[in-house]
Structure 1
Amino acid sequence: MNTNDDLEIFLVTVPGLEPALLAEATERGFDGAEATTGGVTVRGGWPEVWRANLELRGASKVLVRLVEFRVMHLAKLDKLARKFPWGETLRRDVPVRVEVTCKKSRIYHHKAAAERIEKAITEEFGGTISPDAEVCIKARIFDDMCTISVDTSGESLHKRGHKEAVNKAPMRENLAALLLRECGFKGTEPVVDPMCGSGTFVIEAAEMALGLNPGRSRTFAFEQLVGFDKAAWRKMTKLKPNPQTDVRFHGFDRDKGAVAMCDANAERAGVKHITHFDQLTISRLKAPEGPAGLVIINPPYGVRIGELNKLRSLYQSLGNTLKAEFAGWRVGLVTNSDELARTTGLKFRKAKTRFSHGGIPVTLYQTAPLASGG
């Protein structure tokens, strides 16, 4: 593996939430953090690559950019790919796959471009290509510039290794973490999710409060790259002794099966002792005892589960309950419809966060602390 201590590391995230990931990367002490479309660039050596995979909640992938060059045709790509020192990053005994995207370039056939890189890896380096390989070389050809990166994460980082059961239209963990951050959550206040599904918001909030690393229970592709230091990695992943918090996190759902699912997911994540899940309809919802905090909700969207007309009563009931029972609490609501958001009757701030969830353009609406009686 390249021993360069000034690698260009690209943290991939949901478009629209780059500022939230930038704030997290800066807070976690990553050097040279800069937001760009689709992610955040930081700089550092390979230990920083490992640490990014282990610690960052908002990233979906951690890529290391290996080389960049201009290519006008496939022959040039073939020549430069054959000259590249693949052995500084890849191991001959570990299979690899190649993914290529082409846009606004004279090389437009991504499969042909992938074949050239695959041949360079097999014929010049002696590597093995497999479509199922965890280690992935990603080439992006944009405006005739080819950027070659290695995906150091493997499976998407939202897969923390704890959630075996999910509900329909689930919220991904990395997205939930960024939305909690956007709502000002810092781990020191209670969180309530009235429609918790598989419990993602509640479990992420609980992990954040305990200071648990999101990648503590899984493996990564970088463990199969040249120069991976097992001893250094074990030291980096050593758990903090007995993390504690007095804050509690609550999830409710009308589906009994969803509640059981949440309990099981919280148990695997090691946060069951500070989470509480219960079967409850919106109309029976009440604020838990203790200080006010954050209510965060990802209710059904019109295009996802039903027509807008069918959802208006749900959003209206949600707004009425929050105004009546949650004085002093802030609200974060994720939906794809300004009309449905207005139907809650809540007073949302003018500043909104827009992003994509499952390919659907959605918005995070936020309130100030609710006044008594709305």
Structure 2
Amino acid sequence: MDTPFEIFLSAPPGLEPLLLQEVTEAGFAAPEVAQGGVTIQGDWPDIWRANLTLRGASRVLVRFAQFRAFHLAQLDKRATKLDWGAVLPAGAECRVDVTCRNSKIYHDRAARARVAGAIESFGGKVSPEGSLRIMVRIEDDLVTFSMDTSGELLHRRGYKEATGKAPLRETLAALFLRQAGYAGDVPVVDPMCGSGTFVIEAARWAAGMAPGAERSFGFEALPSFDADAFAAMKAEAATRRDTDLRFYGSDRDDGAIRGAEANAARGHVADLCQFTRAAVSDLPRPEGRPGLVMVNPPYGARIGNRKLLFGLYGAFGAVLQERFHGWRLGMVTSDGGLAKATGLKLSAGPPVAFGGLTVKLYQAQL
């Protein structure tokens, strides 16, 4: 269990290269794309920093042990010999998840029972409701132990209480912003803003505020945790830099606007964000330099009548062509036919799973 560890940063399949770009910019060691995320090398402070500062990662997993096992008795013996006290606090209650693939040990429940026994022999407790999560993957007879250091998924930033219908997760919003070319350097407009996810994420990015500055993490309960060192890291990450950029959201729903304003206030960017009740046809172009129009409109799959949405998409495209020359568009939708109804020359990104649907980011230079 010596450091450096292999650390796995999860991301929606299809968007791993965007997370790799963020991780590389952040200066983490040895970043590499893997299926469903990015791997890096690092120690516990790197794990804290990844949870605190990465906008696109969904979870941060630390891979703390690995060995070969060809039968359950061997798994039992080697798991019992692990230094669980270096990973788990005394008396910890944890959840154990096991997956088996192409291995002589093929029964995941039996394997879980052996790992649970090893943890209980150390003095820990295993429960489906455990606050800490140990994941064991047995593939080609290689047993890999990982721990979820995040706790709650990282899209739960800690400042968003009000949510609209079918909200976009903040981590996914951050990756889509990056895919659309955003780097915290231009104004952002969302004319169907709902609870304000795109607007607030863009504002906090421009202000240099860490996405996790308002929340706690699973690693804070671990024996390796240094509260004073992390407090200093968190204080630095929460510092807001000056920016002259402004961020604009509008929606036809009064409740959505009130919720977005409250979310922006809890996220300490209310002064950078302006939310207005307005229809798409009334969307004004902000003064100043061109920026990014970023939108997650209804698709008709879960919200709205698809037939009626063609008019909405058409009106939206007409407004952009009329008023937003020089701006860029990033539009998330599951329906290529609706996207085409904008009348814009669009390019589509890779398919991404979202809430039981498959969506794509459509982009255009206006």
User: TM-score normalised to the size of structure 1?
Assistant: 0.93
1:226 aligns with 2:215: no
3-state SS of 2:38 partner: strand
* Superimposed CA distance per residue, residues 306-360 of structure 1 (whole angstroms, 9 cap, x where no aligned partner): 45323211211111111112111100011112211111111113x6232111231
Q: State the one-letter code of the partner of 2:15.
A: L
- Larger deviation, residues 335-344 vs 252-261: 335-344
* Superimposed CA distance per residue, residues 5-56 of structure 1 (whole angstroms, 9 cap, x where no aligned partner): 3210000111111000000000000010001110000001111011101110
Identity between Structure 1 and Structure 2 (%):
52
Separation in 1, partners of 2:104, 2:294: 46
What residue is the counterpart of 1:171 in the other structure?
168
What residue is the counterpart of 1:155 in the other structure?
152
- After TM superposition, the structure 1 = structure 2 runs for residues 1-374 of structure 1, keeping only pairs within 5 Å, are 2=1, 4-123=2-121, 125-239=122-236, 241-349=239-347, 352-368=349-365, 370=366
* Superimposed CA distance per residue, residues 95-143 of structure 1 (whole angstroms, 9 cap, x where no aligned partner): 22212223444444433322221111002x1112233222111112234
Could you tell me how far 1:153 is from its partner in structure 2? 0.5
Separation in 2, partners of 1:257, 1:107: 53
3-state SS of 2:6 partner: strand
* Superimposed CA distance per residue, residues 198-239 of structure 1 (whole angstroms, 9 cap, x where no aligned partner): 111000000000000111111111111112111111111114
Separation in 1, partners of 2:71, 2:47: 32
Tell me if structure 1 keeps the 8 A contact 2:208–2:240. no
CA spacing shift, 1:320–1:27, aligned 2, 3 Å = same
Separation in 1, partners of 2:111, 2:240: 51
Tell me if structure 2 keeps the 8 A contact 1:353–1:365. no
3-state SS of 1:66 partner: strand
* Superimposed CA distance per residue, residues 259-301 of structure 1 (whole angstroms, 9 cap, x where no aligned partner): 0000000000000000011111111112112211000111112
Separation in 2, partners of 1:107, 1:255: 54
Separation in 1, partners of 2:111, 2:338: 46
Tell me how many residue pairs correspond in the alignment: 365
CA spacing shift, 1:105–1:255, aligned 2, 3 Å = farther
Q: State the one-letter code of the partner of 2:208.
A: G
Tell me if structure 2 keeps the 8 A contact 1:302–1:336. no
- Larger deviation, residues 299-308 vs 287-296: 299-308
Separation in 1, partners of 2:336, 2:104: 41
3-state SS of 2:30 partner: strand
CA spacing shift, 1:241–1:45, aligned 2, 3 Å = closer
Separation in 2, partners of 1:46, 1:244: 30
Separation in 2, partners of 1:242, 1:182: 24
CA spacing shift, 1:103–1:313, aligned 2, 3 Å = farther
Separation in 1, partners of 2:23, 2:97: 27
Separation in 1, partners of 2:220, 2:91: 13
3-state SS of 1:237 partner: helix
Tell me if structure 1 keeps the 8 A contact 2:209–2:240. no
Tell me if structure 2 keeps the 8 A contact 1:92–1:128. no
3-state SS of 2:352 partner: strand
CA spacing shift, 1:293–1:69, aligned 2, 3 Å = same
Q: State the one-letter code of the partner of 1:265.
A: N
Gaps of 5+ in 2: none
Could you tell me how far 1:241 is from its partner in structure 2? 5.0
User: TM-score normalised to the size of structure 2?
Assistant: 0.95
CA spacing shift, 1:14–1:184, aligned 2, 3 Å = same
